[in-house]
A and B are shown apart, each in its own frame.
Chain A
Amino acid sequence: MLDNHAKIIQFFSVAKEVTGRKKLQKMIYILQKCNIPFEEKYNFHFYGPYSEELTLRIEELCNLGFLHEVKEEKSNYYQYNYTLTSDGEEFLNQFHLDMPDYTEKVNLLREKSSRFLELVSTMLYFDHLPLEDIIEKVHTVKPKQKYTKEEMEEAVRFINEVKQ
């Protein structure tokens, strides 16, 4: 019961705090691509891989009091920050989840900007293609982001590191 909810709660027990929904979306996607068994379904959206299911699940977890959401007013948009509550911790303690240890991966992801994670997750979305085609595809689907050659190279290095 609610195994997929418990997996997300467990993610927050590892990540402690996540700043921004976009970053959260990309973090879970990248972890999925590292074979961490999160089951939220992702599709490609305007800003890269996005899961409506994850958005709804986070909303449910907030409504249940397992996650704490803080809405922060930015210049022309809102940003949402998430932390685990004590109720969330208690719920998690009642579960036996068979998940691998992915703490190191989360630490790597936390340090990166959401723009960079958008690039990484977009590259991973096309990982069935050869590298040159992946780079071309990133330019095709994200012309406005104007990712530089250096950022692309850094993303490739990062993918190799996080997938280890």
Chain B
Amino acid sequence: MTYKQEQLSEEKVFKDPVHRYVHVRDRVIWDLIATPEFQRLRRIKQLGTTNLTFHGAEHSRFNHSLGVYEIVRRIISVFEDRPHWNKEERLLCLCAALLHDLGHGPFSHSFEKVFKLDHEIFTQKIITGDTEINRVLEKVEKGFSQKVADVIAKTYQDKLVVSLISSQIDADRMDYLIRDAYFTGVSYGHFDMERIMRVMRPMEDQVVIKSTGMHAVEDYIMSRYQMYWQVYFHPVTRSAEVILSKILHRAKDLFEADDFTFKLEPTHFLSFFRGDVRLEEYLKLDESIVYYYFQAWQDEDDVILKDLCERFMNRRLFKYVEFNPNLQMKDWMELYTLFQQADINPEYYLVVDSSSDLPYDFYRPGEEEERLPIHLLMPDRSLKELSRHSDIVEAISGKKRTDHKLYFPKDRIEALTDQSLKKKIITILYGQGEVEDVR
């Protein structure tokens, strides 16, 4: 028996709160899970700063990766005897599902923005580079690691395989929506995944949904919409994210300044500051390391870095008001000047955050050939885009909802001793409506 076909002597299971059990029989999958690069995902939270809003959201990229693997494993068992499905692609699909998020770092969205990185490039590097993961994959067959990398990069020839891992209704989204709902404890976000799996049909180069299963998909679309606004774009989570980004910016600015020396050499961050991050260095930086520095930077001499780190660690977050960049541009410019007069550096303490700054979205059918929508397989075998058939989906996807918020440290403004300056700032901020309290 080849390594590719090798099965464990008995099935292994991981207890999972979302799928009950994650089943592993393939030796390759078992070996991949045991690699240091995959184990590293235990030390990276799936939802970054969301645990500061929903305290249960402590689940990791490791949990999610196993979940996506399990969903794909179940979908494949449904697809096994259906036309268009190539059984030979089974192991490739399972490996790609398991490894699709391998390149995520700690708080990866903020790190990517500040240091101009792309976790997907690191996923590719981990899979094809000098790693344990690569050695396991190459044992399957020469060139197998590149195939896995291509599926994850969505450039693999068999689009059906790609669409299982990445499309408008894929194993990745299905797992994170249900898992994130479970761990945040919110009551929305649930949908009948078993039913969706039963109505999925492989068709040439995409997975389509049998039209009788439309209502289960409507639920999934609703879940995605609600999770987007209630969890992913929660203003308190965004506040923590804003502070986190500003910490990274400040640390980088200080590193580049001629007149500042860190008391504690930021060894793990040096390559990030220099903009030349090698794979080995990238893999060493996990959340525990980041938290260590944020703790230590509270003892540095720079008041801004100290303050931002203290806020992040002790959850002393910024407050916010709704902000319309079209109508309130002058307000913003005035606030910028007033903050400078108040000695509150607006580059770090007056921040506009927009919905497009998020790595999540809700379903929109889009334009033809813009991106592939969800297709229903009608009784006459024709395909129909979901929102053309479902009033609920049409209502949600046609809705124009975007959002901008202005974040600031309310405590610093309240502590101002110059009453006239304080009044001017408060009038502009409060003039836009009630200042929301961060709970």
**Chain A interface (Cβ < 8 Å from any Cβ of B):** 1-2, 5, 20-22, 25, 41, 43-47, 50, 52-53, 55-57, 59-60, 62-66, 74, 76-80, 87, 91, 94, 114, 118, 126, 137, 140-141, 143-144
Contacts and interface: CB of A to CB of B under 8 A. Distances in A.
A47 B369 CA distance: 6
Contacts of B205: 144
Interface stretch (B17-25, B65-73, B150-158, B263-271): B150-158
Interface of B: 112, 118, 120, 153-155, 157, 159, 205-206, 324-326, 329, 332-333, 351-352, 354-356, 358, 361, 364, 366-372, 400, 402, 404
B400 A22 contact: no
The 4 A-B pairs at the shortest CB distance, nearest first, are namely: A77-B368, A56-B356, A46-B372, A60-B402
Nearest to A85: B326
Contacts of A47: 369-372
Given A56-B402, A59-B402, A21 B325 contact: no
A78 B155 CA distance: 27
A118 B367 CA distance: 14
Nearest to A62: B400
A22 B355 contact: no
Contacts of A59: 356, 400, 402
Contact of A77 (B112, B351, B352, B367): B367
B370 A87 contact: no
Given A5-B354, A79-B368, A80-B367, 8 more contacts: A21-B370, A22-B368, A22-B370, A46-B371, A47-B372, A53-B356, A56-B402, A60-B354
Nearest to B162: A46
Given A45-B371, A46-B159, A46-B371, A21 B366 contact: yes
A52 B366 CA distance: 11
B197 to A, nearest CB: 22
Contacts of B159: 46
A43 B154 contact: yes
B229 to A, nearest CB: 14
A74 B326 CA distance: 32
Contacts of A1: 325, 332, 351-352
B370 A50 contact: yes
A66 B402 CA distance: 14
A78 B366 CA distance: 8
A22 B153 CA distance: 20
Contacts of A25: 370
Contact of A44 (B155, B206, B370): B155
Interface hub of B205, B364, B367 (most chain A Cβ within 10 A): B367
Contacts of B361: 52, 55-56
Given A43-B120, A64-B326, A57 B352 contact: no
Contact of B326 (A52, A55, A66, A114): A66
A59 B154 CA distance: 25
Contact of A63 (B332, B370, B400): B400
Nearest to A87: B326
A60 B326 contact: no
Contacts of B358: 56
Contacts of A5: 325, 354
B122 to A, nearest CB: 14
A51 to B, nearest CB: 10
Contacts of B112: 41
A137 B155 contact: yes
Contact of A2 (B155, B352, B402): B352
Contacts of A118: 369
A122 to B, nearest CB: 9
Contacts of B369: 22, 47, 114, 118
Contact of B368 (A64, A74, A126): A74
A55 B363 CA distance: 12
A56 B360 CA distance: 10
A32 to B, nearest CB: 12
11 contacts: A1-B332, A5-B354, A21-B370, A45-B372, A53-B356, A55-B370, A63-B400, A64-B324, A64-B402, A77-B367, A94-B333
A97 B439 CA distance: 37
Contacts of B356: 53, 56-57, 59-60
A95 to B, nearest CB: 10
B60 to A, nearest CB: 23
